[in-house]
Chains A and B, each alone.
Chain A
Amino acid sequence: MTAPLIPLEQIPEAWNNVIALMLGMGFGFVLESSGFSSSRKIMGTFFGYDFVVLKVFFTAGITAMTGIIYLDYLGVMDASMLYINPYYVYAAIIGGLIMGAGFALGGFCPGTSFTGVAIGKIDALVFTIGLFAGIFLFSEAYGLFEGIFNGHFMGTSKIYELIGMKESVFAALLIIVAVAMFFVATWVEKKVDKVNY
């Protein structure tokens, strides 16, 4: 096993920030080139006139997932060393629901708003000011939400363990579901009136 490279000290820690900058450039370039710098293109997923978010997001997710499983299988990368967000049930669900409301009002998520800022969208810039304000509010009021934030902790749980499935079976099912969604999305796109933006 030689990867993940930095945790296994295959690359000196000093390179960390340079690598961050380069991977970020790839991330930003692909998001913008896919159209994520436009809030009205992003919102198309929820109204059915443009499913680019659904298609890009799930293609990226299953590509990375398959790659990780395969590299682990080949013995190139130790997947058990990868960081897993700890699962605090209430915080994960309530936080997600609040983010969804913010998504519907703002038309961006944090990453996509940065790509909007980069090409000159004022609405994206105002969204990032909102992000700053929201994070500040949460931090100042942390005491009130600490119970939810740290409530019902379930460790670094994996979704397939949670529902009692083998990793390989779950991954295969996820790919099938994603491809089925792509077909349905393309079919809906053809039925829904185009929106010009």
Chain B
Amino acid sequence: MKRDGSFYLNPYLGGFLLGLVLLSTYYITGRGLGASGAIKSSVVTTVHAVAPDHAKQSAYYSQFLSDKKSPMNNWLVFEVLGVLAGAFFSGALWGRLKTKVEHSPKITGRTRLISALIGGALFGFGAQLARGCTSGAALSGMAVLSSSGIITMLAIFGSAYIFSWTFKRLWI
């Protein structure tokens, strides 16, 4: 196994291991994995800190606020801190720790960053509407065969397939 950044796990082995992590999560906690929920917690916390009355009166933020604990004291926030640590460990192990803007040679770094910002905003928005992202809705949903998760998964991949050809110049 080379440590120059070129090594990747066999995708079926990677998928099997990811499946075991997901299965363990259900076995232990009764819920699946997630990602966007942790960012939601940080949005709720930030808004609550800057404008507490606004947050309490909002029909959306107020669902995630409690007098007992901070929205940051949340399962998904700790899980995502783990994701960062685990990914860092993997990057260090395989020699992939490097600060850079990865982009197609056909576009500039600036174009890449602008499209990443807009893409992130759309993803965040859509994940709120669908009550979860690729992790919490689609992947965890497939494990328990939920209609919501599988329908959202088909919508994400179908739409991403069409739009990726629309924005082909960004990638190849």
Indicate if the CB atoms of B168 and A111 lie closer than 8 Å: no
Indicate if the CB atoms of A23 and B25 lie closer than 8 Å: yes
B128 close to chain A: CB less than 8 A: yes
Which residues of A sit under 8 angstroms from B75, Cβ to Cβ?
16-17, 20
Given contacts A96-B126, A106-B116, contact A7 B8 (CB under 8 A): no
With both beta carbons as reference points, the residue of chain A lying nearest to B42 in the complex is identified as A132
Indicate if the CB atoms of A130 and B116 lie closer than 8 Å: yes
Indicate if the CB atoms of B147 and A162 lie closer than 8 Å: yes
Given contacts A11-B28, A139-B43, contact A26 B86 (CB under 8 A): yes
Indicate if the CB atoms of A142 and B147 lie closer than 8 Å: no
Indicate if the CB atoms of A111 and B83 lie closer than 8 Å: yes
Contacting A at CB under 8 A, from B146-167, are 146-167
Q: Which of B80, B124, B157 contacts A133 (CB 8 A)?
A: B124
B102 close to chain A: CB less than 8 A: yes
Which residues of A sit under 8 angstroms from B125, Cβ to Cβ?
98, 102, 134-135, 137-138
Q: Interface residues of B: mostly helix, strand, loop or mixed?
A: helix
With both beta carbons as reference points, the residue of chain B lying nearest to A8 in the complex is identified as B30
Q: Which of B18, B83, B89, B121 contacts A56 (CB 8 A)?
A: B18
Which residues of A sit under 8 angstroms from B84, Cβ to Cβ?
28, 114-115, 117-118
A side interface size, CB within 8 A: 129
Q: Interface residues of A: mostly helix, strand, loop or mixed?
A: helix
Contacting B at CB under 8 A, from A39-81, are 39-40, 43, 46-47, 49, 51-52, 55-65, 67-68, 71, 77, 79, 81
Given contacts A32-B96, A85-B148, contact A17 B78 (CB under 8 A): yes
Which residues of A sit under 8 angstroms from B158, Cβ to Cβ?
96-97, 100
B49 close to chain A: CB less than 8 A: no
Indicate if the CB atoms of B39 and A135 lie closer than 8 Å: yes
Q: Which of B83, B135, B164 contacts A104 (CB 8 A)?
A: B164
Chain B, residues 86-117, CB within 8 Å of chain A (1/0): the string is 11111101101111111110000000110111
Chain A, residues 143-174, CB within 8 Å of chain B (1/0): the string is 10110110000101111111000010011000
Q: How far is the CB of B134 from chain A (nearest CB, A)?
A: 4
Chain B, residues 127-157, CB within 8 Å of chain A (1/0): the string is 1111111111111111111111111111111
Indicate if the CB atoms of A29 and B26 lie closer than 8 Å: no
Q: State the CA gap A82–B113 with chains docked (Å).
A: 39
A122 close to chain B: CB less than 8 A: yes
With both beta carbons as reference points, the residue of chain A lying nearest to B152 in the complex is identified as A96
Give me 11 A-to-B residue pairs in the complex whose CB atoms sit less than 8 angstroms apart, sorted by A's number.
A4-B28, A24-B79, A26-B24, A27-B33, A65-B142, A77-B26, A83-B31, A102-B121, A110-B124, A132-B39, A160-B145
A residues near B (Cβ < 8 Å) are: 3-7, 11, 16-35, 37-40, 43, 46-47, 49, 51-52, 55-65, 67-68, 71, 77, 79, 81-89, 91-115, 117-124, 126-140, 142-143, 145-146, 148-149, 154, 156-162, 167, 170-171, 182, 195, 197
The 5 closest A-B pairs by CB, nearest first: A130-B120, A106-B119, A24-B82, A100-B159, A59-B15
